[in-house]
């Protein structure tokens, strides 16, 4: 059995869009459902979901890329029984949005993840998979119409569920030791321009600096503690041991992928530190002890 996806106006993509997805995972016992969002074009129910634990209402959106060869293989993996993975939404390259799990239920997209005090990210979040081959499949650019669809979808969810802008995150933010998605090409600035996600303009990388210049793996001491406290304040699951260890490096790389994507090397250079300072200074609940000291006050 197959599922015909919606019809659209643009002739050049008509054939692709009317293509029927083979869907061997759909069987009579699987219930379809009414989509939560008005921008959904198709519902393809996933077999992989559960109840949100402790009746937790979602207050976070986690963005992913699918990291597979094409949309069909990604949808099969996300919906077929036994794969133990799923997402609430899948956004195709042409902007079509498929819903696979109702928002009220717990989809299985984040895996072992942490943000702030939350360690069950699947229970507190809505997962959106963006079809893109990712780093294993040439990492293509995200088409504009796909990003427009992600923005429209996120805006609706944020409005309906009163989700704060800083709670729209990358999978790599909540699982920095395992994940890179949606990656350094993902246009967070465009999303922020439309009110989706928290973002500040990255501080420029100083001319003449090279890879590895800055606070780097192997360092230790108060500067590393300060860096770790700032990352943890923002939400990253950073250690606070004063050691620039592998875990710290991976979190700095995740921060760079999201907020300073020009160079993702896990080294806290001046640009990375200044961008992190600007980011947390723009948070409403900025604690005084993390406020960067202005140069003239240092003695």
The DSSP code for 197 is S
The residue ranges of DSSP E strands in 25-82, in sequence order, are 42-43, 49-51, 60-65
180 binds Zn ion (CB under 5 A): no
Q: Give the sheet arrangement for strand 42-43, strand by strand.
A: 42-43, 97-99, 89-91, 125-130, 60-65, 168-170
Two structure tokens written together for 110: 């984040």
Residues 236-275 that bind Zn ion (CB under 5 A): none
What is the separation of C-alpha 125 from the centre of its chain, rounded to a whole number of angstroms?
11
The phi, psi pair for 121, rounded to 5°, reads -65, -35
17 binds Zn ion (CB under 5 A): no
Q: Which is nearer to Zn ion, 17 or 106 (CB)?
A: 106
64 binds Zn ion (CB under 5 A): yes
CA distance 150 to 66: 14
72 is catalytic: no
Q: Which is nearer to Zn ion, 26 or 264 (CB)?
A: 264
> Reduced to 3 states, what is the DSSP secondary structure of residue 80?
coil
CA distance 68 to 126: 20
181 binds Zn ion (CB under 5 A): yes
171 binds Zn ion (CB under 5 A): yes
CA distance 124 to 223: 33
Q: By CB under 5 A, which span of 26-34, 165-173, 207-215, 275-283 interacts with Zn ion?
A: 165-173
The phi, psi pair for 91, rounded to 5°, reads -105, 115
**Active-site residue identified among 14, 93, 103, 129:** 129
Q: By CB under 5 A, which span of 8-16, 62-70, 153-161, 271-279 interacts with Zn ion?
A: 62-70
What Rg, from alpha-carbon coordinates, does the chain have?
20
CA distance 70 to 211: 34
Q: Which is nearer to Zn ion, 112 or 282 (CB)?
A: 112
Q: Which is nearer to Zn ion, 64 or 106 (CB)?
A: 64
Q: Which is nearer to Zn ion, 112 or 241 (CB)?
A: 112
Least distance in angstroms from the C-beta of 132 to Zn ion: 11
Omega into 182 within 30° of 0, i.e. cis?
yes
Q: By CB under 5 A, which span of 11-19, 64-72, 135-143, 254-262 interacts with Zn ion?
A: 64-72
Per-residue x/- track, 115-154, Zn ion (CB under 5 A) = ----------------------------------------
Least distance in angstroms from the C-beta of 248 to Zn ion: 22
Residues contributing to the site for Zn ion (CB under 5 A): 64, 171, 181
Name the residues annotated as catalytic: 129
């Amino acid at each position: 059995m197959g599922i015909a996806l919606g019809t659209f106006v643009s002739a050049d993509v008509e054939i692709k869009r009317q293509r029927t997805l083979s869907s061997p995972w759909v069987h009579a016992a699987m219930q379809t459902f009414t989509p939560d969002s008005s921008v959904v074009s198709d519902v393809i129910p996933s077999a992989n979901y559960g109840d949100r634990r402790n009746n937790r209402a979602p207050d976070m959106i986690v963005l992913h890329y699918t990291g597979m060869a094409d949309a069909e293989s990604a949808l099969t993996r996300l919906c077929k029984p036994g794969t133990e993975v799923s997402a609430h939404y899948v956004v195709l390259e042409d902007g079509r949005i498929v819903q696979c799990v109702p928002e009220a239920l717990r989809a299985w997209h984040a895996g072992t993840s942490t943000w702030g005090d939350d360690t069950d990210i699947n229970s507190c979040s809505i997962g959106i998979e963006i079809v893109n081959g990712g780093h294993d499949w040439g990492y293509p650019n995200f088409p504009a119409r796909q990003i427009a669809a992600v923005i429209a979808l996120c805006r609706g969810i944020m409005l309906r569920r009163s989700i704060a802008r800083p709670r729209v995150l990358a999978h790599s933010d909540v699982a920095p030791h395992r994940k890179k998605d949606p990656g350094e090409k993902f246009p967070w600035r465009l999303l922020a321009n439309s009110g989706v996600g928290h973002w500040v303009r990255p501080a420029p990388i100083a001319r003449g600096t090279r890879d590895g210049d800055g606070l780097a793996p192997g360092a230790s001491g108060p500067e590393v503690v300060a860096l770790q406290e700032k990352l943890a304040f923002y939400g990253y699951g950073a250690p606070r041991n004063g050691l620039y260890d592998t875990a710290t490096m991976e979190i700095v790389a995740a921060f760079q992928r999201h907020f300073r994507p020009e160079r993702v090397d896990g080294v806290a250079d001046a640009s990375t530190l200044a961008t992190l300072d600007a980011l947390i200074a723009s948070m409403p609940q900025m604690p005084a002890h993390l406020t960067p000291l202005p140069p003239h006050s240092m003695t």
